[in-house]
């Protein structure tokens, strides 16, 4: 069978541009799927623009733009070079605060995606399916439908909390027709939402775990879009993320180890404790996270004192909201030998934490899929997670039944509760003292298949299903 041609449209892709899990998914999927999948993304200033120019537009939302095709790192990239929109210092979305023209910047990306789908590349490459990611690419399915471009589309929601809002008076600037501004179209509580636009116009919607797909139907998690999620329930699919098992491999860590040589993990642990100045008899927990209320970081202050009292330790790597950073700094100052904190974004340090830690904490209030619990499983760093979204789908709680049948892979606690987190940390300390049980749990997680194969097969079968429905 000929390979399907898929265009993935996204604002982030590892290793070139990343603020969260979205980038990991966009970079990993093309490598594991048996399809000709190309990634259209903005040419941010850090990205080298070598390649072949396949499309030009003298006025893409206010300035000249082109698409440069380039193969690198095993990926076929289509880089959208639009200096007036993307050649900026700072983060991908702003420098401190969000850039006010973000709706336009990513409408331009979405528009370019629709042009590729319409067969505008000079190479003649045209996708059979467009796969748009999050609010930044949400307008691509809308443009496809509104411009009558006959290519089916899929929208993946990586996090419904980011909705791509713009004021109503930007409708024309976003190249949307007046008739699209209705509750059945792009209107969202008096504003425009580009995520909603994608959800309305895409032929299928996916999100990154089955549990999150169900949660999105409720007011608690749907963030005002639950009605639309319910209306489109037939077209909604939950497909779990995998991880890059080569990049995240304890055999490649500084002190290499595997499920069969778990005793070697101790060396990584000792080195980490020495470097962080930590002392204690209990488990060494780690956190690698954006510091936002979503991640439940504020629950730690309530839960940690008893954990530290029981001999536990914690090493945190994260960056984000100043108030949460300060709260963590205060805790770290209060417990200098039990807690260490590194503020910032640092992939190398994060790998060292996973290698040296005993457990990874993910106390999120909501979590579409979550990757750090998967890294934890891979590294024998037992996940302690909130029962929500992909966390609930990927960790088997160590209750009596799961422990006695040998199914447990971690600890799962009620979400959004400081008390539940405190209890979970005390259970962690108790389990850690029972070393035979602990080691069995570690190696069970490490032996799991966490790669992309299963998920990429599900995406492929969804694409095929859409193509079949087109020819009916
Ligand atoms: P989200 O996308 O909501 O931030 P995920 O768990 O899906 O959460 O993905 C987060 C990704 O970002 C993971 O790969 C995680 O290791 C990484 N990450 C988050 N914060 C940091 C940090 N401070 N340093 C290094 N990596 C980080």
Direct distance between the N- and C-terminal alpha carbons of the chain, in angstroms, rounded to an integer: 19
Q: What local confidence, expressed as pLDDT, does residue 31 receive?
A: 94
- Write b or e for each residue in 427-444: b if 16 or more Cβ atoms lie within 10 A of its Cβ, otherwise e: bbbebbeeeebbeebbeb
**Distance of CA 402 from the midpoint of ligand 1 (Å):** 29
Q: Which pair of tokens denotes residue 306?
A: 């008893």
Asked if 166 and 267 sit in the same domain, the reply is: no
Asked if 163 and 308 sit in the same domain, the reply is: no
Cα separations in angstroms, 262 against 48, 281, 288, 444, 447 = 41, 19, 22, 12, 12
State CA 129 to chain mean position distance: 22
28-62 pLDDT, tens digit each? 999 999 999 999 999 999 999 999 999 999 999 99
3-state secondary structure of 93: coil
Which residue, among 308, 285, 292, has the nearest Cα to 385 in the 3D structure?
285
Q: What percent of the chain has pLDDT over 90?
A: 97
The ligand 1 atom nearest the CA atom of 318: 23
Does the pLDDT value for residue 340 go beyond 90?
yes
Does the pLDDT value for residue 472 go beyond 80?
no
State the average pLDDT over residues 116-135. Answer: 98
Asked if 147 and 214 sit in the same domain, the reply is: yes
CATH number of the structural domain spanning residue 325: 3.40.50.2000
Does the pLDDT value for residue 294 go beyond 90?
yes
| Phi then psi dihedrals of residue 28, to 5 deg | -85, -35
State the total domains in the chain: 2
Asked if residue 229 lies in contact with residue 222, where contact means CB atoms within 8 angstroms, the answer is: yes
Top mutation candidate among 372, 377, 378 for ligand 1, by most atoms within 8 Å of CB: 372
State CA 244 to chain mean position distance: 13
Q: Which pair of tokens denotes residue 101?
A: 């023209």
Give the global pTM: 0.94
CB 317 near ligand 1, within 6 Å = yes
Q: What is the full DSSP assignment across 337-351?
A: TTEEEEES--HHHHH
Q: Which residue matches tokens 């055999």? A: 251
pLDDT band at 2 (very low <50, low <70, confident <90, very high): confident
CB 28 near ligand 1, within 6 Å = no
CB 20 near ligand 1, within 6 Å = yes
Q: Whose CA is nearest to atom 9 of ligand 1?
A: 21
- Residue 5 has, within 13 A of its CA and on its CB side, a CA count of 9
Q: What local confidence, expressed as pLDDT, does residue 116 receive?
A: 98
- Residue 36 has, within 13 A of its CA and on its CB side, a CA count of 10
Asked if residue 144 lies in contact with residue 117, where contact means CB atoms within 8 angstroms, the answer is: yes
3-state secondary structure of 310: coil
The ligand 1 atom nearest the CA atom of 319: 23
Q: What is the CA radius of gyration of the chain?
A: 23
Sign of CA dihedral 139, 140, 144, 150: negative
Which residues 6+ apart lie within 8 Å of 310 measured at CB?
A: 282, 425, 426, 429
CB 32 near ligand 1, within 6 Å = no
**Distance of CA 288 from the midpoint of ligand 1 (Å):** 6
Asked if 185 and 276 sit in the same domain, the reply is: no
CB 370 near ligand 1, within 6 Å = yes
How far apart, in whole angstroms, are the C-alpha atoms of residue 117 and residue 103?
Answer: 21
Residue 302: give the domain boundaries.
250-446
DSSP label at 149?
-
Asked if 222 and 351 sit in the same domain, the reply is: no
Does the pLDDT value for residue 83 go beyond 90?
yes
**Distance of CA 470 from the midpoint of ligand 1 (Å):** 37
Q: What local confidence, expressed as pLDDT, does residue 244 receive?
A: 87
How far apart, in whole angstroms, are the C-alpha atoms of residue 260 and residue 238?
Answer: 33
144-190 pLDDT, tens digit each? 999 999 999 999 999 999 999 999 999 999 999 999 999 999 999 99
Asked if 216 and 309 sit in the same domain, the reply is: no
Which residue, among 69, 122, 62, 70, has the nearest Cα to 86 in the 3D structure?
62
Cα separations in angstroms, 379 against 114, 243, 349 = 41, 12, 14
Q: What's the mean per-residue pLDDT of the chain?
A: 96
CB 24 near ligand 1, within 6 Å = yes
Asked if 271 and 209 sit in the same domain, the reply is: no
3-state secondary structure of 211: helix
pLDDT band at 247 (very low <50, low <70, confident <90, very high): confident
Q: Which pair of tokens denotes residue 38?
A: 């190309």
Asked if 190 and 301 sit in the same domain, the reply is: no
Burial of 274 per CB tally in 10 Å (0-12, 13-18, 19+): exposed
Asked if residue 36 lies in contact with residue 49, where contact means CB atoms within 8 angstroms, the answer is: no
Asked if 135 and 160 sit in the same domain, the reply is: yes
Q: Which pair of tokens denotes residue 245?
A: 């098992």
Which residue, among 70, 63, 68, has the nearest Cα to 86 in the 3D structure?
63
**Distance of CA 333 from the midpoint of ligand 1 (Å):** 24
Q: Which residue matches tokens 């032996």? A: 447
Q: What local confidence, expressed as pLDDT, does residue 121 receive?
A: 98
Asked if 254 and 330 sit in the same domain, the reply is: yes
**Distance of CA 364 from the midpoint of ligand 1 (Å):** 13
DSSP label at 332?
H
Q: What local confidence, expressed as pLDDT, does residue 1 receive?
A: 66
**Distance of CA 21 from the midpoint of ligand 1 (Å):** 6
321-336 pLDDT, tens digit each? 999 999 999 999 999 9
Asked if 367 and 423 sit in the same domain, the reply is: yes
Asked if 129 and 181 sit in the same domain, the reply is: yes
């Amino acid at each position: 069978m000929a390979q399907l041609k898929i265009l993935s449209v996204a604002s982030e892709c590892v290793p070139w541009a990343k603020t969260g899990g979205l980038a990991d998914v966009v970079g990993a999927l093309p490598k594991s799927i048996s399809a000709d999948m190309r990634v259209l993304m903005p040419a941010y200033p850090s990205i080298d623009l070598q390649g072949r120019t396949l499309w030009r537009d003298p006025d893409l939302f206010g300035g000249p733009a082109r698409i440069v095709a380039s193969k690198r790192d095993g990926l076929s990239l289509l880089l959208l070079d639009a200096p007036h929109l993307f050649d900026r210092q700072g983060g991908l979305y702003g420098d401190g605060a969000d850039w006010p023209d973000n709706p336009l910047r990513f409408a331009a990306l979405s528009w370019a995606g629709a042009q590729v789908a319409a067969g505008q590349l000079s190479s003649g490459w045209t996708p059979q399916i467009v796969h748009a990611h999050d609010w930044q690419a949400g307008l691509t399915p809308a443009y496809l439908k509104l411009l009558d471009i006959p290519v089916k589309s899929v929208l993946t929601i990586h996090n419904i909390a980011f909705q791509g809002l713009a004021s109503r008076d930007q409708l024309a600037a976003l190249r949307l027709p007046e008739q699209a501004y209705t509750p059945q179209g792009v209107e969202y509580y008096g504003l425009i939402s580009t995520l909603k636009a994608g959800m309305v116009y895409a032929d299928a919607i996916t999100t990154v775990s089955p549990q999150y797909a169900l949660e999105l139907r409720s007011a608690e998690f749907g963030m005002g879009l639950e009605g639309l999620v319910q209306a489109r329930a037939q077209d909604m699919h939950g497909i779990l993320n995998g991880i890059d098992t080569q990049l995240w491999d304890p055999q490649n860590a500084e002190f290499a180890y595997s499920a069969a040589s778990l005793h070697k993990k101790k060396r990584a642990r000792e080195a980490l404790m020495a470097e962080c100045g930590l002392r204690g008899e209990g488990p060494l927990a780690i956190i690698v996270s954006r510091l936002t209320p979503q991640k439940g970081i504020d629950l730690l202050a309530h839960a940690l004192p008893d954990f530290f009292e029981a001999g536990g330790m914690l090493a945190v790597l994260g960056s984000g909201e100043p108030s949460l950073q300060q709260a963590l700094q205060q805790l770290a100052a209060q417990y200098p030998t039990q807690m260490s904190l590194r503020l910032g974004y640092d992939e190398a340090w994060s790998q060292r934490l996973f290698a040296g830690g005993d457990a990874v904490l993910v106390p999120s209030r909501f979590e579409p899929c979550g990757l750090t619990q998967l890294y934890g499983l891979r590294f024998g760093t037992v996940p302690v997670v909130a029962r929500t979204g992909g966390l609930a789908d990927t960790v088997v709680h160590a209750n009596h039944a799961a422990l006695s049948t040998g199914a447990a892979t971690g600890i799962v606690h009620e979400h959004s509760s400081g008390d539940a987190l405190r209890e979970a940390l005390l259970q962690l300390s108790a389990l850690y003292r029972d070393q035979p049980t602990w080691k069995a749990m570690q190696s069970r997680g490490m032996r799991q298949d966490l790669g992309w194969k299963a998920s990429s097969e599900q995406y492929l079968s969804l694409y095929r299903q859409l193509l079949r429905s087109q020819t009916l």
